[in-house]
Amino acid sequence: MLTIQIIVGPTASGKTALAIKRALAGNGEIISVDSRQVYKGFVIGTSQPTGDELARVPHHLVNILDPGERITAGQYVNLIQGKIAELAELGKAPVLCGGTGLYVRALRLGLSKSGAADPRVRAAILARVEQEGAAAVHAELARIDPATAGRIHPNNIQRLVRALEIYETTGRPPSELREWEGDADEKTPAVPGVGAVQYELTGIKWPRDELYSRINERVSAMLEQGWVAEVEGLLQSGVSRSAHPMQGIGYRELASVVAGELPLDEAVPAIQQRTRNFARRQLTWFRKEPVEWIEAGEIWDR
């Protein structure tokens, strides 16, 4: 049975550095498990691997999706499994790395074909309703599944969230579910072309205050690297402010800065706070997963 390492944990914890170390030690290549790094042009704010990092170890599923596209957990799992099979065929060890807990969970346990409830997915969608507004989330459902959106009023939050929950946990629009045969959950799904696999999750543990300090410093470093110019370039190239990746942490705030709606000195602390909140949610998620946590000071000894 193939054993696959997955490096997980909160943003700014050092996942990429540890993944590179593990890949170099085991003739491996890295597969991203990140819902934002997948988008083309969203480089600085998503911490896509640098040129030096790519030169040391190849990274897959980074910078491949147009900003106007959406991808479900099920679709992403299919991409990951395809890359695992490719690398296994080449005799390479896949090392997965990322902080998108839903994708990691879907990879390990499969997704329900029945559209069963998932409290964590629902909570994430509710957070988006609060941040982006019900109308924006309803517009997203309309793009995914016009038939279902037509039956749900934008102010009916319960039905709106449930419809998107079904989509995220099955990869299929709710209106198509009745045509989808089979209702059993897939547990520990095999990887096509590889067979049964075993996933080992490793996380990097930081004291909370140190992690928050790293987050604040990283946001400042991203701005020094030209994050505002990156956002301006994306908007000038035609990327809509309503595009899914433009709703990501920092991109929404900096789009407002570029538009003259928000001063940069107000945007920076807002981005830092939103990132810290995100890290806290990631920690909550991964504490419920079978993660081996390594103290940050020990990672280079393992």
Q: Please provide the DSSP assignment of 93-122 as one string.
A: EEEEE---HHHHHHHHH---TT----HHHH
The angle that helices 208-224 and 227-236 make with each other, rounded to 10 degrees, is 60
Is residue 109 predicted with pLDDT exceeding 90?
no
Tell if the pTM clears 0.85, that is, is over it.
no
Residue type, 301: D
List, as one string, the DSSP characters of 229-263: HHHHHHHHTT--TTSGGGGSTTHHHHHHHHTTSS-
Q: Of 162, 104, 172, nearest to 129 (Cα)?
A: 162
d(CA 186, CA 32): 23
d(CA 204, CA 10): 8
Is residue 165 predicted with pLDDT exceeding 70?
yes
Is residue 131 predicted with pLDDT exceeding 60?
yes
**Average pLDDT, stretch 21-42?**
96
Q: Of 20, 100, 90, 103, nearest to 58 (Cα)?
A: 20
Q: Can you give the pLDDT at residue 181?
A: 33
Buried b or exposed e, range 30-60, using 16+ CB within 10 angstroms: bbbbbbbbbbbbbbbbbbbbeeebeeebbbb
Q: Can you give the pLDDT at residue 123?
A: 83
Q: Which superfamily, per CATH, for 2-112+186-207+287-301?
A: P-loop containing nucleotide triphosphate hydrolases (3.40.50.300)
Return mean pLDDT, the chain: 89
Higher pLDDT, 288 or 198: 198
Task: For the domain made up of 119-179, give the CATH fold.
Answer: Histone, subunit A (1.10.20)
pLDDT digits (tens, 9 = 90+) for 44-73: 999 999 999 999 999 999 999 999 998 877
Higher pLDDT, 131 or 151: 151
d(CA 61, CA 79): 8
**Average pLDDT, stretch 270-276?**
95
For residue 114, give both structure tokens. Answer: 């029945």
Architecture of domain 217-281 in CATH? Orthogonal Bundle (1.10)
Is residue 189 predicted with pLDDT exceeding 70?
no
**Average pLDDT, stretch 73-79?**
87
Q: How far is CA 96 from CA 28, 32, 100, 268, in A?
A: 10, 6, 11, 30
Residue with tokens 């050092």, as numbered in its chain: 14
Q: For the chain, which residues make up each domain, given as ranges?
A: 2-112+186-207+287-301, 119-179, 217-281
d(CA 54, CA 93): 16
Same fold, 2-112+186-207+287-301 and 119-179: no
Q: Is the dihedral of CA 186, 189, 195, 196 positive or negative?
A: negative
Q: Would you place residue 178 in the very low, low, confident or very high pLDDT band (cuts 50, 70, 90)?
A: very low
Is residue 299 predicted with pLDDT exceeding 80?
no
Is residue 211 predicted with pLDDT exceeding 70?
yes
Is residue 183 predicted with pLDDT exceeding 50?
no
- H/E element, 198: strand 197-205
Q: Can you give the pLDDT at residue 128?
A: 84
- H/E element, 156: none
> Do 170 and 121 contact (CB within 8 A), yes or no?
no
